[in-house]
Amino acid sequence: MRIHEYQAKKIFEAYSIFCPQGFVVEKSNDLELAASVLGFPIVVKAQIHVGGRGKGGGIRIANTMEELKTAFDELFGKRLVTEQSEKEGKIVSKLLFERFENITRELYIAIVLDREKESPRLIAGKRGGIEVEEMVKKDPDLIASEVIDVRYGLMPYQARKLFFFLELDPSLLEPFTELCQNMYKIFVEKECTLCEINPLAINDTGKFVALDAKVILDDNALFRHPDLSELFDPTQEDSKEVEARRFGLNYVKLKGNVGCVANGAGLAMATMDLVRLSGKEPANFLDVGGGATREMIREGLRIVHSDPDVKVIFINIFGGILRCDTFAMGFRDASEIIEKPVIMRLEGTNVEDGMKILKDLKIPLIIVNDLKEALERLKSLDI
């Protein structure tokens, strides 16, 4: 789960990591107060769950009250489009106002989950503000890292190694080691998959400042962290994705016009691939899951059907634990609202019972016998 920068910074501060003094602003009458406390210039940062804010105009510097008001009006409640966002952008429902820091140097530091080493990895970069992947591509010598053994935790010598790599002033050795240890504490205690400061700045008083903060939490561990679960911001997600999750369904909005429904994540991905192979583009990915109930199936189909981009629905079910007759009943329940054509492949446990249920439905339903036939049908579609 992604959380906002201001939320991540609150966590950082609780672990003694210094962040610029700031205010979260959600209404225009907060501006005066924020300005009087912070003093100009003020950095205005749109709080959205997507990168590329700077280039997209989501980060501004206001030198006067006038400029602060303009920045507020131009960002607040609007949709911000960045290089990394969907075409419609992300809604800005909160702004972070921060005291401007005079900085002398920008660095990169992060603890990531390294899936290859199956361990956390501490990464340091000599340059801040750019994506670590970009940095690796441009100049791998700018990056150094240390794999952390979870049994023993981050050792101070590992942080020191990176400190010497960064060629910082010797007076910063202890603060740097402490910073790394604190980040590792956050990574473990909050069960993160990413804990990143980019840029990590050194200000004109020689102190480390977390100018930005990014934390990604492990969704599967949230049951142990009710306080962190509350940080979820539904405004940053596609509304259908949020709705689907409520019914225990995995739904992802995509760019095309063929609705894709399958049981199981792998089969749903393969179904999406099949649509692309036919020369069409999937409008979404819906995995009703292994233990889907009749209700879940009905709701899932309703969500897919209600997407205005969807011109046709392609259903690919391989019944295992989910029985074909259960699926067919859910489909029959949903058929009252289905107006768009449906191509369906139904196979597996109780398939004959399932077919009987589908037989008399008065909707535009094409049943295919296998995936090859499905591919041909998809190819011949005129959409």
Partner 1 sequence: MSILLDENTRVVVQGITGKEGAFHTERMIQYGTKVVAGVSPKKKGHYFLGIPVFGSVYEAVKSEGATFSCIFVSQAYVKDAIFEAIDAGIKTVVCITEGVPVHDMLILKKFAKEKDAFIIGPNTPGVISPGKAKVGVMVDYIHKKGNVGVVSRSGTLTYEVVSQLTALDIGQSTCIGIGGDPIVGMRFIDVLSLFEEDEETELVVLIGEIGGNMEEEAAHFYRSSMRKPLCAYIAGYGAPREKRMGHAGAIISGGSEDAAAKIRILEEAGIEVVRSIAEVGEKVKRLLFNLKRKSSVV
Query: Which residues carry out catalysis?
Result: 108, 196
Q: Which of 130, 155, 242, 267 binds partner 1 (CB under 8 A)?
A: 267
Stretch of residues binding partner 1 (CB under 8 A), selected from 71-79, 94-102, 268-276, 292-300: 268-276
Asked if 252 interacts with partner 1 (CB under 8 A), we say yes
Structure tokens at 2: 């992604």
For position 149 contacting partner 1 by CB under 8 A, the verdict is yes
Of 191-230, which residues contact partner 1 (CB under 8 A)?
191, 193, 218-221, 223-224
In angstroms, give the least distance from the CB of 135 to partner 1. 13
The CA distance from 97 to 158, in Å, is 35
CA distance 137 to 117: 21
Contacts of 228 (CB under 8 A, 6+ apart): 1, 3, 190, 217, 222
Q: Which two tokens stand for residue 340?
A: 């768009």
Query: How are beta strands 342-348 and 312-319 bridged, if at all?
Result: parallel
Instruction: Looking at residues 47 to 76 of the shown chain, list those that interact with partner 1 (rule: CB under 8 A).
Output: none
Minimal distance, residue 253 CB to partner 1, in Å: 9
Q: What CA–CA distance (Å, rounded) separates 88 from 216?
A: 23
Helix (H, G, I), strand (E, B) or coil at 348: strand
Closest contact distance (angstroms) between CB of 363 and partner 1 is 25
- State which residue, 129 or 348, has the beta carbon closest to partner 1: 348
Hey, what amino acid is at 248?
A: G
CB burial readout 248-279, b (16+ within 10 A) else e:
ebbbbbbebbbbbbbbbeebbebbbebbeebe
Stretch in the footprint of partner 1 (CB under 8 A) among 16-24, 163-171, 263-271, 324-332 = 263-271
Q: Does 34 bind partner 1 (CB under 8 A)?
A: no
Is residue 297 at the binding interface for partner 1, with CB under 8 A as the rule? no
Tokens (6 digits) for 1: 């789960």
When the beta carbons of 70 and 349 are compared against partner 1, the nearer one is: 349
Structure tokens at 321: 């634990």
Nearer CB in complex with partner 1: 101/196:
196
DSSP state string for 65-129: HHHHHHHHHHHTTSEE--TTS-TT-EE---EEEEE---EEEEEEEEEEEETTTTEEEEEEESS-S
Q: What are the tokens at 381?
A: 């579609």
Q: How many residues bind partner 1 (CB under 8 A)?
A: 53
Q: Which of residues 82-141 bind partner 1 (CB under 8 A)?
A: 84, 113, 115-116, 118-120, 133
Nearer to partner 1, 159 or 368 (CB): 368
Q: Does 320 bind partner 1 (CB under 8 A)?
A: yes
Min dist. Cβ of residue 266 to partner 1 (A): 2
Task: Please choose, out of 70-78, 97-105, 156-164, 188-196, the segment that lies near partner 1 by the rule CB under 8 A.
Answer: 188-196
Query: CB-wise, 103 or 269, nearer to partner 1?
Result: 269
Residue from 177, 236, 257, 263 in contact with partner 1 (CB under 8 A)? 263
Q: By CB under 8 A, is residue 285 in contact with partner 1?
A: yes
Q: How far is the CB of 19 from partner 1 (least distance, A)?
A: 24
Helix (H), strand (E) at residue 236: none
User: Judged by CB under 8 A, which of 248, 349, 363, 365 binds partner 1?
Assistant: 349
With 0-12 CB in 10 A as exposed, 13-18 as middle and 19+ as buried, what is 210?
Answer: buried
Compute the least distance from the CB of residue 60 to partner 1, in Å: 25
For residues 325 and 297, the answer to whether their CB atoms sit within 8 Å is no
Beta pairing partners, 64:
none
Residues that bind partner 1 (CB under 8 A): 84, 113, 115-116, 118-120, 133, 149-151, 188, 191, 193, 218-221, 223-224, 250, 252, 254, 262-270, 272-274, 276-277, 281-282, 285, 287, 290, 318, 320-321, 347-349, 370-372, 374-375
